[in-house]
Amino acid sequence: MAELLKIKDLQVHFFTDYGVVKAVDGIDLTLQEGEALGILGESGCGKSMTALAVMGLVPFPGRITGGEIIFAGRDLCRLTEKEMRRIRGKEIAMIFQDPLTTLNPVLKVGEQITEAIRLHHEEGDLSPASGRRGFFRFWEDRRRREMAAWKKAVEMMEKVGIPSPELRMEEYPHQFSGGMRQRAMIAIALSCNPRLLIADELTTALDVTIQAQILDLMRRIKEDFRTSILFISHDLGAISELCDRAAVMYAGKIVETGSVQEITGAPFHPYTQGILASIPRLGEKEYRIKPIPGNVPDLGDLPAGCSFFPRCPYGQAKCKTELPPLEEAGEGRQVRCFYWRQIRAQREEEGGIGGELSFAGD
Amino acid sequence: MTINLTQFINRLLQTIPVVIGVTLIVFSLMHLTPGDPVEIMMGQGSVTEGEIQRIREELGLHLPLPIQYFRFVTGIFKGDLGYSIYYRQPAGEVIFARLPATFELMVVAMIISLAIALPLGLISAVRQYSLVDKIGTIGALLGVSMPGFWLGLLLIMAFSVNWIFPVAGRIDFGMAPQRITGLYLLDSILTFNWPSFWSALRHILLPAITLGMSMTALTMKTIRSSMLEVIREDYITFARAKGLSRSQVVLKHALKNALIPTVTVITLNMGVLLGGNMIVETVFGWPGLGSLVVNAIFNRDYPLVQASVLIYAITFIICNLLADFLYTVLNPRVKF
């Protein structure tokens, strides 16, 4: 498998009136061709900003202040806006969290799909040029392109499971249900056969049954289209359903990476453990949900040492002053904690799996 | 966008009580204010009491008020808007002779105002806090707070006295084009009468700017704020993520949404333009409906005031209807 996306020491900073907010603070990620990578983390830990940085759409007053985003051999940070436009939508597509607000309410769904198709397909790509010459040729070609884009859009809507797509093309987003809008959005994103699909909190705004359907659809996309997926979520369940590997982010940094089995089965970082422990389980005697105490620190005013230290049950004096490095902890596995070895040892001793390890003082 | 015909007709029927209400209010107001129109007509002194009585009977002013009102309303349905005491002509004729001038002024004011407000509002939203935005914001504040009569006088002082633009009137003497629509600009284009066109244009520019100023400011503000709201929406980021350029996104995805509240403000403001033109027409000596009404009020020309106010009210109602209609056209989520 070839490397499709490699993010090196990426930094996205926001220059606000109250100081610099380090939304993404030096993260490294790699994504193989055909792989699905999950990024897990609480709200406000920089997941979405990482995605927007890859798209080159970091909103003002934010800026990519350092690092590289190598996509298929090219550093996206160095591309001009015009070059970036050719990549957006065509090579890297992105789908957003809230299907209710992501489709333009005043444009027909069909128009919103064909727009992307017309934009990225070359003229000959959609349909061969007509035999006519001269004045009419322009209109003829245009009409053919539009027809071809229309056909392609209908096909895409069918593929993502929207019933009677021809009729639905003529409707406005408000005539679609939430799940159908999500599908329409996925159809738009896939319409140009992107190599990388970024899904930002794709299932968060949907109810559980629809979530399952959409995840199912995503899995099919991964297999049928061979699209690599960067799946951003705070829902470990969704990530473990879809992804091969996962990266856990906390306060703009990656704290743990590994295969989904490793992350969910044997997390080394206390934060990952906290996330796992906070998932309610069937058949448990304790009915209360165990949250991680405290909140994500203010990204404009991060502690000097480990940013998880204030909430960490294992915290030592060293953690307060020194930033732990991202250490290799096995094949394709990285952890940003000074004490991950001890945690692993303790885990093996107890023979427990994620969630059953109790926090000190809990 | 599908417009249901029955609903449309329903909406149309809703305006009838409004029109009746307007006639009632207009009628009562004119009769409640002191001053006898017949005395004004006759001037002071030389007429006898009997003559006055005769004229009052001729005009129906001796009848009880309810009957006068009834005659007024039934007259409207027969196309009879009353008889102007001062001009000694049917009020309808007097008004419709003046209407094209006012309409022309309104349209030009509107065009100028939109030509300034739309691009400026758009740029100030897309480039928030830029120089254009700051100048636009200050300009809008000035435009809103400057009363029309004062701005008009300033413009006359700055440009008119022995300079580019004439001080008053609609067109230079003897230049009026052949009457087709009554709109001088349009008529002179239709008859290829360029000297007339130039003269009409020079005359209309200052009053139109004056009239359109407050609306320009308001439209600019509206489009700026609705644009600012829209460009923060998810669908804008999504449109950018499709690979559309910034300008494509602004002009296609954002503008269409931002226009929804803006068009409502613009259409409702057309009514305000109509009200504002009384002052502007008086300042610039524009021979339109506005100056006609002002004179009619001073002359206590009851029937003429009644008829003009009725015309004003109907125009307002049409503007309202238009606002509702455009709103449904632009916003697929809403039906009549």
Convert the pLDDT of each residue in A260-291 to its tens digit: 988 888 888 888 888 888 887 777 676 677 78
- Whether domain A3-102+192-248 has CATH 1.10.150.110: no
Whether A358 has a pLDDT exceeding 50, the answer reads no
Q: Amino acid identity of A48? A: S
Angle separating helix axes B5-13 and B302-330, nearest 10 degrees? 150
Residue A325: both structure tokens together: 């490095």
Q: Does B241 touch chain A (CB under 8 A)?
A: yes
Q: Does B233 touch chain A (CB under 8 A)?
A: yes
| A17 CA: distance to closest CA in chain B (Å) | 14
Cis omega (within 30 of 0) for bond into B100: no
Test A101 with B235 for CB contact under 8 angstroms.
Answer: yes
Convert the pLDDT of each residue in B102-117 to its tens digit: 989 999 999 999 999 9
Are A263 and A272 a contacting pair, CB within 8 Å?
yes
- Summarize the confidence of residues B256-269 as an average pLDDT: 89
Q: What is the pLDDT of residue A175?
A: 92
- Summarize the confidence of residues A221-231 as an average pLDDT: 89
DSSP readout, A276-300?
A: HHTS--TT-S--S--PPSS-PPPTT
Residue among B237, B243, B257 minimizing CB distance to A120: B243
Which stretch of DSSP H or E encloses residue A253?
Answer: strand A253-259
Test A106 with B260 for CB contact under 8 angstroms.
Answer: yes
End-to-end C-alpha distance for chain A, whole angstroms: 44
User: Residues with Cβ < 8 Å from A80, sequence gap 6 or more?
Assistant: none
Name the CATH superfamily for B92-330.
MetI-like (1.10.3720.10)
Residue among A59, A119, A172 minimizing CB distance to B242: A119
| A212 CA: distance to closest CA in chain B (Å) | 23
Between the alpha carbon of residue A13 and those of residues A1, A46, A50, A328, the distances in Å are 32, 10, 11, 27
Convert the pLDDT of each residue in A175-204 to its tens digit: 998 889 989 999 999 888 899 999 988 888
- CA-wise closest residue to B23 among B60, B78, B73, B74: B73
Are A10 and A24 a contacting pair, CB within 8 Å?
yes
- Summarize the confidence of residues A220-224 as an average pLDDT: 87
Domain map of chain A by residue range?
A: 3-102+192-248, 109-166, 268-350
Convert the pLDDT of each residue in A64-82 to its tens digit: 998 899 998 889 988 998 9
Q: What is residue B67's three-state secondary structure?
A: helix
Q: Amino acid identity of A344? A: R
Domain map of chain B by residue range?
A: 92-330
Test B241 with A93 for CB contact under 8 angstroms.
Answer: yes
Residues of A at the B interface, defined by Cβ within 8 angstroms:
52, 55, 57, 59, 85-90, 93-94, 96-98, 101-107, 115-116, 119-120, 172, 174, 185, 188
Which stretch of DSSP H or E encloses residue A200?
Answer: strand A196-200
- CA-wise closest residue to A312 among A330, A336, A288: A336
Q: What is the pLDDT of residue A131?
A: 58
| A173 CA: distance to closest CA in chain B (Å) | 9
Q: Using 50, 70 and 90 to split pLDDT, how confident is the model at B150?
A: confident
Are B196 and B202 a contacting pair, CB within 8 Å?
no
Q: Using 50, 70 and 90 to split pLDDT, how confident is the model at A38?
A: very high
Are B136 and B242 a contacting pair, CB within 8 Å?
no
Residue of B nearest to A172 (CA): B332
Interface test with A, best of B230, B235, B256, B263 (most A CBs within 10 A): B235
Within 272-291 of B, beta carbons closer than 8 Å to A belong to: none
Question: Which chain A residues are within 8 Å of B227, Cβ to Cβ?
Answer: none
Test A119 with B234 for CB contact under 8 angstroms.
Answer: no
Q: What is the pLDDT of residue A353?
A: 46
Test A106 with B233 for CB contact under 8 angstroms.
Answer: no
Question: Which chain A residues are within 8 Å of B257, Cβ to Cβ?
Answer: 104-106
Question: Which chain A residues are within 8 Å of B332, Cβ to Cβ?
Answer: 105-106, 172, 174
Whether B291 has a pLDDT exceeding 60, the answer reads yes
Average pLDDT value for chain B: 84
| B245 CA: distance to closest CA in chain A (Å) | 7
Q: What is the pLDDT of residue B331?
A: 86
Test A104 with B331 for CB contact under 8 angstroms.
Answer: no
Are A247 and A271 a contacting pair, CB within 8 Å?
no
Q: Does B244 touch chain A (CB under 8 A)?
A: yes
| A152 CA: distance to closest CA in chain B (Å) | 16
Which residues make beta-bridge pairs with B223? none
H helical segments located in B242-336: 246-248, 255-283, 289-298, 302-330
Residue of A nearest to B256 (CA): A106
Test B238 with A102 for CB contact under 8 angstroms.
Answer: yes
